[in-house]
C-alpha cells in the first residue's frame, strides 16, 4: 500500500473520478468539492489536501480536504486509515476530523498515534 499526496487538482481529479463516480451517492461530497474546486479554485481558503492510496499499483482509495474543513474519507477504505494519517501528519497541521460513512470515518479518528505526532491547530 502506498499513499501519495497530490498538488495538481486536475491530475488528482482525473485519477480519482472513476473511483468516486462508481458510487456517486456515497461520494457526493467529495465529487461536489472537486467539481467546485475545478470551476472556482479561489473558493478554498488554502490549497486542498489531495491524497490517493494505491495497492499493487492500482488506485484503491482517495481522500480530500479543504482546510479548515474535515478530511472527506468516503473514498478511503477503513484499512488504510492509519497509513493515511501517518502520511498526512508530517505535512499538514490541524486535521480536525473526518467526514464520510461511519465505517471509514471512525478508524481515521481512532488511529493510535503518539501524542507528539498528533496534528495541532497551531
Contact yes or no for 43/86 (Cβ under 8 A): no
SS3 61: strand
**In the numeric block, which cell numbers belong to residue 74?**
468516503
Q: If we measure between CA atoms, which residue out of 111, 2, 3, 115 comes closest to residue 49?
A: 3
pTM over 0.85: no
Q: Which of 12-26, 45-59, 64-78, 100-114 has the lowest mean pLDDT?
A: 100-114
Domain boundaries of the chain, sorted by first residue: 2-117
Query: 102: number of CA atoms within 13 Å, CB side?
Result: 0
What average pLDDT score do residues 69-76 get?
89
Output phi, psi for 31, to 5 deg: -65, -40
In angstroms, rounded to a whole number, what is the distance separating the alpha carbons of residues 101 and 95?
18
Q: pLDDT band at residue 122, thresholds of 50, 70 and 90?
A: very low
Amino acid at each position: 500500500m502506498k499513499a501519495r499526496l497530490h498538488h495538481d487538482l486536475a491530475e488528482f481529479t482525473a485519477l480519482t473520478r472513476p473511483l468516486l463516480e462508481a458510487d456517486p451517492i456515497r461520494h457526493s461530497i467529495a465529487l461536489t468539492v472537486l467539481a467546485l474546486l475545478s470551476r472556482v479554485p479561489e473558493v478554498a481558503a488554502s490549497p486542498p489536501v489531495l491524497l490517493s492510496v494505491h495497492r499493487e499499483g492500482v488506485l484503491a482509495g482517495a481522500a480530500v480536504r479543504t482546510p479548515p474543513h474535515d478530511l472527506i474519507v468516503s473514498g478511503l477504505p477503513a484499512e488504510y486509515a492509519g497509513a493515511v494519517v501517518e502520511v498526512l501528519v508530517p505535512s499538514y497541521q490541524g486535521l480536525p476530523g473526518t467526514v464520510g460513512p461511519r465505517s471509514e470515518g471512525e478508524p481515521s479518528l481512532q488511529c493510535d498515534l503518539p501524542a507528539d505526532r498528533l496534528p495541532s491547530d497551531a
